A and B are shown apart, each in its own frame.
Chain A
Amino acid sequence: MKYVPALTVAVAVLFVSAPILVAMAPYESTMGLVQKIFYFHVPSWIAMYTAIYVNGAASALFLFRSRPAADRVGAASAELCVLFGAMGLVTGPLWGVKAWGHWWIWEPRLTMALLLWLVYISYLLVRRYGGPGSEKLAAAVGVFGTAVSPFVYVSVNLWRTIHPLNSVVPTLKSPFRPAFGISSLAFLALFGLLLALRVELGRRQAALDALYLADED
C-alpha cells in the first residue's frame, strides 16, 4: 500500500509523456497514421499477459498453500486481465479494418487471445456465482488458463499468420522505440497500480467480513 502514491505519480508522468512521444514518432512508411494504434494495442496485450501470469502464480499459490492474500491477488489480476484484454480486443479490430480490410479474422493468434480472455471471464463468473468454496475452483481455472497461454505463443510460430510477428518489437527501428517503450511501461505501471488498489480493497473487504463475524459471535 505504501507504494501507491509513488506508483500513481509514475503512472501520471508516463501517461502524460507517452502521447507526446507517440505524436513525435515518425509515420511508419507503409501503414502511416494507422500504425500509431500499435502504441496502445501492443501494451494492452503486454499488460493482459502480465495479468495472466500473475494470476497463474497467485492461483497456484492459493491452491497448494491456501494463502488468502494469494487469492486476493488472483481475483484482482483476473479482473485486470479482462480489462486490458477488452482494450486489446477493441483496438485490434480498429487497426485490422484499416490494414487487413476486416474487423476480425479467425487467425490463430486472435482466436487464442479471445479464448484466453473468455477463460478469465469464466474465472470471474465462477467466483461470482459458484457459491461458497468457489475461490478454489477459480484458482484451478487460473492454473489451467496460464497453462494454455504458452500455446498461444507457440501457435504463432506453428501456423502461417498474417498478424505482425512478435519479432517486430525487438527489431523496431530507433525512432519508434521511445514511444513504444514508454507506452509499454505506462501500461505495466497502470497494471501495478490497479492491482495494488484492488488487492487492498479485497483485504479491507475480508477484514470487514471478519469484524462482522466477530460481532455476531
Chain B
Amino acid sequence: MNFAAIAWLVLRKDLAIETRSWEIVSTTLFFAVSCVLIFAFAFVKEEAAPGAAADAAAGILWIAVAFAGTLALGRTFERERYGDTLKALLLAPAPRPAIYVGKLLGIVLLLAAAEALLVPLIALLFGAPFFSRPLILIGLLAAGTVGFGAVGTLFAAMLVRARTRDVLLPILLYPITVPVIIAGVRGTSALTASPVNENLALMWLAILTSFDVVFVTLALWTFEPLMTE
C-alpha cells in the first residue's frame, strides 16, 4: 500500500470511530464556543459601541482555536491509549510517517469544523469584518491549523506514554507554536483593519507557510524514532 492510502485509512478509522459517538467533535466545538463567551465578558464593555471589540476578534479567534485544539489533541490520543490501540496501529506494516499524516489530517479536519463555527460566530458577536478577503482568511486559517496541528499531533502522540501527559501537552505545545499563533493573529487583524492591509496579511501567510514546511518536515522526520520504544 502506498503512503497516501495508509494515511487515508488511518483518517477513515478515526472518522468512523468519531461518527459513532461524536464525542470529540461535540465537546471540542462546545469548548471553543465557551472560550469565545469568556473572552466576550473580558473584552466587551457595556457602554462601548457595537463593533468596538472588533480589533480583539482576531486574537479571540486564534486563542479559541489553540485552546480547543489542545483539548482535541489530548482526547484523540487518550482514546488510543484507553483502548491500547496505538500499539496495534504502530505494529501495522505501514510507514510510521503515513500514520502520523493520517492522524494530522484528522486533527486538521476537526479544527476546520471548529473554525467554520467560530469565524461566523465571532464576526457576529464582535462585529469583526472577517469576510472582507475570504480567500486570504481561509489561507491563514488553513496554514495556521496545519502548523499548530503538525506540532500538536507529534507531541500528543509521544506524550501518550508519559505520566503527566495532560499538563505536559500545553506546556510543550504553546511555547513552540506561539510563533504560529502570532502570525495567525497579526495576519487576521491585518484583514480586519480598516483599510484592509492585504500585503501585510499575505506576508504573514508566507511566514505561516514557511513555519508549516519546517514543522511538518521535522515532525515526519522525528515521528519514527519517537514512537519506537
Contacts and interface: CB of A to CB of B under 8 A. Distances in A.
Q: Answer yes or no: do A and B interact.
A: yes
Contact of A134 (B151, B162, B167, B222): B162
B84 to A, nearest CB: 17
A71 to B, nearest CB: 13
B127 interface: no
A131 B162 contact: yes
Secondary structure of the A contact surface, majority rule: helix
A148 B179 contact: yes
Interface stretch (A13-21, A117-125, A170-178): A117-125
A136 B178 CA distance: 23
A138 B222 CA distance: 12
A21 to B, nearest CB: 36
B158 A115 contact: no
A32 to B, nearest CB: 35
B179 A144 contact: no
A213 interface: no
Given A141-B172, A143-B222, A115 B163 contact: no
A126 interface: yes
B225 A130 contact: no
Interface string A136-147: 110011011101
A63 interface: yes
Given A63-B226, A140-B226, A158-B207, A130 B179 contact: no
Given A115-B178, A131-B164, A63 B218 contact: no
A133 interface: yes
- Chain A interface extent, by class: 20 to 34
Nearest to A133: B161
A122 B176 CA distance: 10
B52 interface: no
Given A119-B176, A137-B162, A148-B179, A126 B222 contact: no
Contact of B154 (A112, A140, A148): A140
Interface in A25-39: none
A137 B218 contact: no
Contacts of A125: 168, 171
A144 B164 contact: no
13 contacts: A63-B222, A115-B175, A118-B175, A122-B172, A126-B172, A131-B163, A137-B158, A141-B172, A141-B176, A144-B215, A147-B214, A148-B176, A151-B179
Interface of B: 151, 154-155, 158-159, 161-164, 167-168, 171-172, 175-176, 178-179, 182, 203, 207, 211, 214-215, 218, 222, 225-226, 229
4 cross-chain pairs, A with B, having the tightest CB-CB distances, nearest first: A131-B163, A118-B175, A130-B162, A119-B175
